[in-house]
Structure 1
Amino acid sequence: MKHINSCLRSDLHPLQYADQSRRTDRPGPAPAPARQGESREWSENATCIKQPVAVVTKCPPTAAGRAEEIRDLPDELCNLTNLKELDISNNELKAIPARIGEMKNLEKLVAAYNNITYLPKSLTELVKLKCINIRGNKLSSLPSDFGQLQSLEEIDLKENLLVRPPKLVCEGGKRIEIEQYLKYAYAKDKIFLEKTLQLIPKSIPAEGFEHFCKKLRLPSSDITSLGKLRMPLEEKIKSALIWWQDHRVAMLEPGEATEELIRTLDKADLNELASKVRSLKICTQAIKL
């Protein structure tokens, strides 16, 4: 991770890297610049990190005179619980910190023009968030509970690869429409997963049971115990799938769990069954809202 050579202080609002060493309206001397390899303490009283030359958005200029894009943000950033505005745009970030939901007072988040592929689930805990700009990234979907962001007034999701919800829904920037689509999609994905879990136990041959359980990553002891039980094969497979749901995909969205299950079927050499589930999913998705 590249070090962010600056110190957040509560008396700078907004705090800008370029201005920090030049300010004369605060008591005491300006802080010395951080040495190479040294990271500064993050102040929990900071209220704004903003473009164009923000401490988080860019690293200091290199010898070539050009600011370097940052690729990772430190976990300590999420300790800034009083922060109201965060601009991390125009970098090479692939993800927003998983703990961003702890920044309870955040009202504006700008992460435009990065390489972000997903939004962390905790993002939907930002109940005070009024503006979110994730334009120009690589998002293909939004969290199912995105609609929990009830305070949102401005939404910019343009120039992404969105399919869930589709661009037509997202580019309107209306929270209600996005929320309605996601609720519908979640319910449909959940029903499809349930039907898939009913189909699989009827479709796996006895000789493929143990191999399938291994690909579900059941403990060896559990596989042995299931094998010894005097119950129909179908019931054994159902038990294995219940364990898989509880221990392997409990934190995934229904659609994500279905994709993981299809990959598991392929790994277990149950390719025909995996293709059948894929085809059924495509047919389901073809039904228009």
Structure 2
Amino acid sequence: MSHSPIKWICLSALLCLVGTGCLTQANYQGNTLEAFPEEICGNRHLKTLNLAPTGIVDFPPEPLAITNPNKVSPIPECLCNLTNLRELNISGTFLSGLPDCLPKLQKLEVLDVSYNSELEIDRYGSQLQGLPALKTLNIRGCRYSKEGLEQLKQRMPEVRILHNMESRGF
């Protein structure tokens, strides 16, 4: 009898299965986290990790007051052990930086770092450029300059960059 990997799991069931390393999705959304859940870092099969604090998928251009924040900053280097990760949602998690090892996530297709108002995107252009599979990057509500955004677009022309530069009148 063969075992197939679990496709989706909620936080309450995660504690029972985290040691098995067979999860493909982990959704911490809507749970109040005080730190990054490092127990997830050993799961080599994980493809989707959602640490966003709310169920909102499409944010308006104005900054939001998040009432149920997940404070996962700083992101530990062990995140980069998740080499099969394809989607990472760390929006609204009070990030002020990204791990240096980010380019190790060679299969990452979607990165959502939106609404981390202390995260200076201009500082991470080379790291983001080091993600060859990246298709979508959401930086709404983060700090970046018009010049930095243009450089990012030039370095990564195939990546859909979601930003709110136009709505702020820059």
Give the one of 94, 104, 108 matched to 2:87. Answer: 108
Is residue 158 from structure 1 mapped to residue 121 from structure 2 by the alignment? no
- The answer to whether structure 1 residue 123 and structure 2 residue 102 are counterparts is yes
Distance 1:117 1:40, change over 3 A: same
**Which amino acid in 2 is paired with 1:47?**
T
- TM superposition shift of 1:167: 4.3
Cα 1:45–1:11 shift into 2, 3 Å: closer
State the partner residue of 2:42. 79
The TM-score with structure 1 as length reference comes to 0.41
Structure 1 SS opposite 2:126: coil
Partner amino acid, structure 2, of 1:115: F
Distance 2:90 2:23 in 1: 19
Structure with a larger share of its residues in helix: 1
Match runs of 1:169-180 below 5 Å: 169=151, 176=156
Give the letter for the 1:160 counterpart. Answer: C
Letter in 2 for 1:87: N
Q: How many correspondences in the alignment?
A: 137
- 2:157 and 2:93 map into 1 onto residues whose CA distance is 25
Name the larger-Rg structure.
1
- Aligned partners of 1:124 and 1:133: how far apart in 2? 15
Higher normalized contact order (CA 8 Å, seq sep 6+, divided by chain length)? 2
Q: 1:48 maps to what in 2?
A: 25
Contact preservation (8 Å) 2:5, 2:24:
no
TM-score, normalised via structure 2 length: 0.67
Structure 1 moving runs of 4+ over 3 Å: 39-42, 167-170
Q: Which runs of 5+ in 2 are unaligned?
A: 54-69, 160-170
Looking at structure 2, the residues matched to 165 and 98 of structure 1 have their Cα atoms a distance apart, in angstroms, of: 29
Q: Secondary structure at the match of 1:112?
A: coil
Aligned equivalents of 2:87 and 2:135: distance in 1?
10
Percentage identity across paired residues of the two chains: 19
